[in-house]
Copies of this chain bind each other. A is one copy, B any other.
Amino acid sequence: MPKPKVHIVKIGGGILEDTVRLEALLQDFASLKGLKILVHGGGRDASLLEAQLGIPTTMIDGRRVTSSESLRVVTMMYAGWTNKSIVSLLQSFGVNALGLSGADGNVIAARKRTPSPVDYGYVGDIHQVDASGITGIMEAGFTPVFCAITHDKKGQLLNTNADTIAAAIAAALTEQYDVRLTYCFEKQGVLLDLNDPHSLLTELNRQKFEELVDQGVIHQGMLPKLNNCFTALKLGVGHIEIGSESMLQKPEQPRTTIIH
């Protein structure tokens, strides 16, 4: 018997900052048939709120250093305002969405990253995704909507990269499901030249990826995203693609498909 399908869609910060684009994307997500899961990052909103509160925003290699004050801000923004706004919009589009951090239902446990060589503060690296918990939520009739907050099972919330969360959930569900993982972001996919949409790679395998990294063609923001993709591919996720949000409802839309 074939495994049931589940489509995991990760949406990036740029989309969250634009209400019109966000609503259009959520309507496209609502139209997807079958089981589905949404994962959202944060946007600049958390940094803006930090600035308003006089909390310094520190980024190292494109990743936020999360002080205790900063953890409070990202938890408020990602798990509070952003997550509940998305859930409420999805409900209005007929999706029985249910918002989750990794602490809810203990579905994603992480460990605080070791402080050397770089102390990122309250940042968590995922070590366990409870596939049965996520399955239970879906079987109860809900569409999970994940934000980028996890916990360590000892009462500590942790800030965790949303791309990694999407890949980890995808990998954890492969045993029971035929998983499709889609990263929606600002670009058409992986571009050889960021300023030239015609330089899109429609397919990318690990060998080519490593060559491009060596040549310095793959840039900071894309590097962890693609590392997550190849990890998920290795762990059995059947179909992984990266592209702009309009691809959800347009099969003809160009994108980058991750292949072996």
What is A's interface to B at a CB cutoff of 8 Å?
Answer: 52-53, 72, 75-81, 83-85, 87-89, 91-92, 96-101, 103-106, 133, 136-137, 139-142, 149, 151, 153-157
Contact = CB atoms under 8 A, between A and B. Distances in A.
A157 B72 contact: no
25 contacts: A52-B53, A53-B53, A75-B80, A76-B77, A76-B80, A76-B81, A77-B80, A79-B80, A80-B83, A84-B103, A87-B103, A88-B156, A91-B151, A91-B153, A92-B154, A96-B105, A96-B106, A98-B100, A98-B104, A99-B101, A99-B104, A104-B142, A105-B142, A133-B141, A137-B140
A contact face: mostly helix, strand, loop, or mixed: helix
A94 B149 CA distance: 19
Given A76-B77, A97-B105, A105-B142, 19 more contacts: A53-B53, A75-B81, A76-B76, A76-B81, A79-B83, A79-B84, A80-B81, A85-B157, A87-B101, A88-B103, A91-B151, A92-B155, A97-B104, A99-B101, A104-B142, A105-B141, A133-B141, A136-B140, A137-B140
Q: Which 4 A-B pairs have the closest CB atoms?
A: A80-B80, A76-B76, A92-B155, A76-B80
A51 to B, nearest CB: 11
A81 B80 CA distance: 7
Contacts of A80: 75-81, 83
Contact of A157 (B88, B105, B137, B156): B88
Contact of A84 (B75, B105, B154): B75
